[in-house]
Amino acid sequence: MEESVQEAIRAVMVLAEKESLLFMERAMDLIASCFARGGKIMIAGNGGSYCDAAHFAEELTGFYREKRKPLPALVLGEPGHITCVANDTHFEEVFSRLVEALGKREDILILLSTSGNSKNLIRAAEMGREKGIFVIGFLGKGGGRLKPLTDLNLTIDGFTTSDRIQEAHMAAIHIIIEGVEKRVARETLLAAL
């Protein structure tokens, strides 16, 4: 157990590295700017990363630490859509169809993948790029085929299991949301002056 605790701490400590800090700062600025210009955040992942994507979205549409207006974010994964598209075409298209239907140039697409090789997320990134949407990746294990399709990414390396990568992703997500809330509050205050 102590070894697992130390490994979890080591995963989250990756966020203290300069590259990770720069990623989080840039992500905060980009997301806050997206909201300021009337855009939305679309977030996707599979399995545990889907659950993290849903948590990311609900912290923005609900509340995190501050009482504030809801921020436009959605997780891509409505069951009717997924089963329809997977049945009629292929599971690889479940997210790209939503990006095609809902995505606009002023939006941001956030993709969570511990391997970076999920075909449905790769297709979503390709569609996002086709539509001129900024793509942010939360990745692991070298970033896989998804990494070069992102405009900005956090790649958690040095772990063979998805759980440690997801723990670092979730810590980064919480830090980013906190920073976005502060930026949105500052913009709201400045607009009121």
Three-class SS string for 13-66?
HHHHCHHHHHHHHHHHHHHHHHHHCCCCEEEEECCHHHHHHHHHHHHHHCCCCC
Residue 183 near residue 28 (C-beta atoms within 8 A): yes
If pLDDT is split at 50, 70 and 90, which confidence band does 139 have? very high
Look at residue 192 and tell me whether its pLDDT is greater than 80.
no
**How many residues are listed for the chain in this entry?**
193
pLDDT tens-digit map of 90-133: 999 999 999 999 999 999 999 999 999 999 999 999 999 999 99
What number does CATH give the domain 2-192? 3.40.50.10490
Average pLDDT, the chain: 94
- Helix (H) or strand (E) holding 137, with range, is strand 134-140
Domain ranges of the chain: 2-192
Residue 3 near residue 72 (C-beta atoms within 8 A): no
Cut 0.85: pTM above it? yes
